[in-house]
Amino acid sequence: MGAVRPVGASSEGVRKSMQANKGRDTKPELALRRAVHALGLRYRVSMRPLTPVRRTADLVFTKAKVAVFLDGCFWHGCPQHHTKARTNADYWAEKVTRNQERDAETDRLLGEAGWQVIRVWEHEDVLKAATRIAETVRSRRP
């Protein structure tokens, strides 16, 4: 009898790769944070904008009610860069679809609560994204 693998991992290599994925402080996230900070903005990191809703934004500007999500191209189905998995393709396609549905629900819930949601793709130019975030935050400050 072989080792038991968690559901979703098609091989030991895939399992190790999935475990190595960081939930926060990724290179794109750190670069975006640095760029936003350099524009003079201060924010909270990895916070739930709405406490009862289990959704964590990457950057949160509480006073301006702006929540920023930095989305990975694979995990969130980027129209430009998303690639289909070669192994266990149906599982991964369903996973990405569920992520997209959750993203839409998150945007709706936060919007209904008066929050502005900004979604940034991991491949976006960091300075352009930071500028877009800064403009939105400054326009919403009380």
Q: What pLDDT digit, counting tens, does each position of 39-98 carry?
A: 999 999 999 999 999 999 999 999 999 999 999 887 788 888 777 777 888 888 899 899
Beta carbons within 10 angstroms of residue 54's beta carbon: 9
| Residue 37 or residue 142, greater confidence | 37
Most confident among 12-26, 65-79, 124-138 (mean pLDDT):
124-138
Q: Which of 8-17, 28-37, 84-93 has the highest mean pLDDT?
A: 28-37
CA distances from 66 to 85, 109, 117 (A): 33, 13, 6
Assigned CATH for 23-140: 3.40.960.10
pTM (whole model) above 0.85: no
**Rounded Cα–Cα distance for residues 33 and 18 (Å):** 24
